[in-house]
Amino acid sequence: MDKVIGIDVGGTSIKVGLFSPKGELLEERKIPTPALVDEDAYRVVTDGLVRILTAHDSVPEDVIACGLDIPGPVADDGTVGFLPNIQLDAEGLVHAISAALPSATIAFVNDANAAALGELWAGVAHGASSFVLIALGTGVGAGVVVNRRLVAGAFGAGGEIGHITVNKGETRTCGCGRKGCLEQYASAKGVVRMYLEECEAHGVTPVHVEHATDTLSVFRALAAGDDCAKIAVDKMCDYLAFAMAQVSCVVDPAMFLLGGGVAGAFATFAPELRRRFQQYALPTCKDVAIEAASLGNQAAMYGCAYEALRLRAESLGQPLPAAAVVAEQQ
């Protein structure tokens, strides 16, 4: 029976999802890996894939599509760009997986783009023709879908919403080398930094913050009535809404989906985000839905599997199988 695999590539481990062609998740398994730069490391991955298949009475030849998502740019032609946060020889890994799964179409997808495709295939965006998923985590990424197709861009920078300039007066430098990027305010790091700055400016003692991305403590402080937490979260909403309004002028999506760690508190800040978006948006774009993503940290795994399956169907001139939507189960 045909199988599809989605591989979420991380720095020290990969997360593997085994799917049916309709998007039914049969098993999810984590495989610890060394740096993915040599044959021994590739073998750890391919041996892990074989074990998962064996557990489901399948063999490598049953896999018709295998997608991988990575934390870096992937251009329209599948070329992988610079990967600053992971040791990965993409070409070597693809060769090893192709050899291990001889019947599979292989696809590489940027992780935020993969999350968007996952929501399109089996999440809350199923059936939507156009939407933008914004991943608010350590940084800010996004996946843009138009006419049910991912907009990756000629150089893999499609969806780099985190680097839209939202504050020309900023003096701090963003990780990208520019200043005033959305990522400096709407990421987990940005929210925590703004909270601590507000506490210092107002001469108050902040709540205990475990680390530079500990937004959970900030949102708990907000729920407890901490004025500095409210200012920081309001600033996050303001900058994020401003960026979303600019994206709407270019893409005009039917919906925005918020995912990532910061979006775990979506219900807390959603009313303010929607209010500020209404202030900034072009009148014809104001009716866009702003909702939470539904697949959580499985979204990218679903999405890269979907992209590989889509490429296979396209190459064969066949339609994609009807998807089994799982959003309602989340």
DSSP letters spanning 293-317: -SSGGGHHHHHHHHHHHHHHHHHHT
Element holding 6 (H helix, E strand): strand 3-9
| pLDDT for 290 | 97
Q: Is the pLDDT of residue 171 over 90?
A: yes
Of the chain, the percentage scoring pLDDT greater than 70 comes to: 92
Phi, psi of 193 (to 5 degrees): -60, -45
Q: Is the pLDDT of residue 80 over 80?
A: no
Asked if the domains 3-117+296-329 and 127-292 are classified in one and the same CATH topology, the answer is yes
| pLDDT for 114 | 92
CATH 3.30.420.40 fits 127-292, yes or no: yes
| pLDDT for 77 | 64
For strands 255-259 and 149-150, give the pairing.
unpaired
List the chain domain ranges: 3-117+296-329, 127-292
Question: Mapping DSSP to helix (H, G, I), strand (E, B) and coil, where does residue 290 land?
Answer: strand
Between 330 and 185, where is the model more confident?
185
pLDDT band at residue 209, thresholds of 50, 70 and 90? very high
With contact defined as beta carbons under 8 Å apart, do 187 and 138 qualify?
Answer: yes
- pLDDT tens for each residue of 241-298: 999 999 999 999 999 999 988 998 999 999 999 999 999 999 999 999 999 999 988 9
Fold (CATH) for 3-117+296-329: Nucleotidyltransferase; domain 5 (3.30.420)
Least confidently predicted of 106-110, 142-146, 179-183, 299-303: 106-110
With contact defined as beta carbons under 8 Å apart, do 107 and 9 qualify?
Answer: no
The identity of residue 12, as a single letter, is T
Element holding 238 (H helix, E strand): helix 227-251
